[in-house]
């Protein structure tokens, strides 16, 4: 009986050790929400934390695409467009900090959601993925024409669980539209204030009925617009 028990214990240790031979750590080194008008980039870090060398299948997927935008991702010293799988070979303890996604947006406000998926080749049950959000903005020339508009929308608190205050300032009489969008671009709340005089204003926004996630608040007049991100947490 003792010999049988020892054999079973040894087999369990060997099985556990075999499973632990493969492992990796994957993280985004930047904020997962990046904005720009020319080039938007997300940098990642992939580390082999196992006890054996391994290769990793790296797959970039565009979840919510914007027409006219161009995307490229890089891993293992190679680059490709989404839809092509790249492979990254790492020795034990090796790190690839040059994994990245590059997005070239067209001018104007839009949001694109991308997913970078990592899977171990030696142990396919080991996988991870990260969603990132590329926010297209107006070009520098377009921004410079907005000198009469507010440079910032103040949102407090942010992240928000239930109520937040949206504050802004107007420098001329105008009509203001304040809209709250999901990361996919769907409007979930909107208000329009007509013939607003110059001065400081505040909107009380109740988000208690909205799911947790990333949202964007856009304030727009006929002459300019400004956008800020909101994180809703439950």
Q: Where exactly are the structural domains of the chain?
A: 23-136, 146-232
| pLDDT value for 13 | 44
* C-alpha span between 60 and 129 (Å, rounded): 9
| pLDDT value for 58 | 97
Say how far residue 157 (Cα) sits from the centre of its chain.
20
| pLDDT value for 8 | 47
On the CB side of 223, CA atoms within 13 Å amount to 13
Count of other CB atoms within 10 angstroms of residue 142: 14
Of the candidates 55, 130, 121, 124, which has an alpha carbon nearest to the alpha carbon of residue 100?
130
CATH 3.20.20.80 applies to domain 146-232:
no
Strand 225-232 with 213-220, pairing: antiparallel
The length of the chain is: 234
* C-alpha span between 154 and 160 (Å, rounded): 13
CATH class as words, domain 23-136: mainly beta
pTM of the entire structure?
0.58
**C-beta of residue 128 within 8 angstroms of C-beta of residue 47:** no
Say whether 146-232 and 23-136 share the same fold. Answer: yes
Helices (H), 135-225: 140-144
| pLDDT value for 20 | 63
Count of other CB atoms within 10 angstroms of residue 191: 12
Our CA angle for 46, 124, 74, nearest 5°, is 35
* CA-to-CA dists, residue 215 to 5, 63, 185, 201, angstroms: 57, 16, 9, 21
* C-alpha span between 110 and 105 (Å, rounded): 8
Mean pLDDT, consecutive 10-residue segments, the chain of 234 residues? 49 48 94 85 95 97 90 91 95 95 85 94 96 78 48 82 90 87 79 87 91 84 78 80
Of the candidates 142, 91, 133, 95, which has an alpha carbon nearest to the alpha carbon of residue 112?
133
């Amino acid at each position: 009986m003792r010999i049988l028990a020892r054999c079973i214990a040894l087999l369990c240790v060997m099985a556990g050790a075999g499973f632990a031979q493969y492992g990796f750590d994957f993280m985004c080194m930047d904020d997962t929400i990046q904005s720009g008008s020319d080039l938007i980039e997300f940098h990642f870090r992939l580390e082999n934390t196992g006890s054996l060398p391994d290769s990793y299948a790296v797959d970039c997927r565009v979840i919510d695409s914007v027409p006219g935008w161009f995307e490229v991702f890089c891993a293992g010293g190679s680059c490709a467009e989404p839809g092509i799988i790249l492979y990254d070979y790492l020795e034990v303890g090796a790190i690839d900090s040059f994994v990245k996604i590059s997005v070239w947006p067209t001018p104007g406000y839009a949001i694109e959601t991308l997913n970078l998926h990592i899977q171990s080749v030696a142990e396919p049950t080991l996988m991870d993925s990260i969603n990132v959000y590329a926010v297209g903005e107006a070009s520098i020339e377009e921004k410079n024409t907005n000198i009469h508009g507010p440079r910032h929308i103040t949102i407090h608190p942010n992240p928000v669980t239930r109520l937040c205050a949206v504050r802004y300032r107007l420098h001329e009489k105008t009509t203001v539209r304040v809209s709250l969008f999901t990361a996919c671009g769907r409007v979930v709340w909107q208000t329009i204030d007509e013939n607003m005089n110059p001065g400081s204003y505040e909107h009380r926004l109740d988000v208690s009925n909205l799911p947790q996630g990333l949202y964007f608040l856009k304030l727009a007049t006929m002459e300019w617009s400004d956008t800020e991100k909101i994180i809703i947490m439950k």
